[in-house]
Amino acid sequence: MLKYCLSLVCGLLMLSCQPKEKSTITKIDKQTLIENALDKDVQLIDVRTPQEFAAGSIGQAINLNVNDANFSELILDLDKEKPVYLFCKKGGRSNRAAQIFKENGFTNIYDYSGGYDDWVKSGK
């Protein structure tokens, strides 16, 4: 009986130590953004400055400036289980933002690597 109980406890401990869901960052292109994020129930986030955002953005994106000192705190108001689509001007800041999202437990992170420059260059 003791052997059975120990086996059961060890099995439960092993299961509880498994990660719930692994965070992933996926680089995407314009077509993928159009198909999977525009007019969909996702979190589309422009991580550029408010000035850049005011000059134009993509779809119904919200602006959370990755350079703000409190960026990590601001993202905690978002749904960690819902897909997050990030973009900036060219891809550098969104890549950094994706890492911050991952560190904060977001599970489905998509980084539009072309950024807003790619969006306007090739037209929608």
Question: Which residues are marked as active site?
Answer: 88
SS3 63: strand
Q: Are 45 and 20 in contact (CB under 8 A)?
A: no
Token pair of 84 as six digits: 């997050």
Q: Are 62 and 36 in contact (CB under 8 A)?
A: no
| Sequence-distant (≥ 6) Cβ neighbours of residue 26 within 8 angstroms | 109, 110, 111
